[in-house]
Amino acid sequence: MAESSRPYVRHLTPIVLTPGPELPPDEHPVWAKLIAGHATHEFSYPAAGMLVFNLNLQWRRDPSKLPLLIKQVRAFFQKYQHLLGGDVQKLFS
């Protein structure tokens, strides 16, 4: 078989990330409800659901860690807000 002399050219389409909605502050009651399991939601990004589940387990072992757990979940939402924008709107509206 003869090899083709034409090089393979790969065309990439750039991904434009649009900022999601502004996240509520740490003091918003939905953050605590989410971690405590009082607000249920099926996330569009499975890693978010796994994180919330893990934080819920940590909260059950030591409820005094709630402020730290809220900071962790909010930081995750901040980092991945381009993926979780729809979830933020549903949870906080």
pTM of the model: 0.76
Per DSSP, helices labelled H in 1-93 are 29-36, 46-61, 66-79, 81-92
How crowded is residue 84: how many other Cβ atoms within 10 Å of its Cβ? 22
**Per-run averaged pLDDT (10 residues), the chain, 93 residues:** 68 65 90 94 93 97 97 95 90 88
What is the structure's pLDDT at 76? 96
pLDDT value, residue 93 = 85
Instruction: Identify the pLDDT of residue 36.
Output: 96
- Rounded Cα distance between 82 and 9, Å, is 29
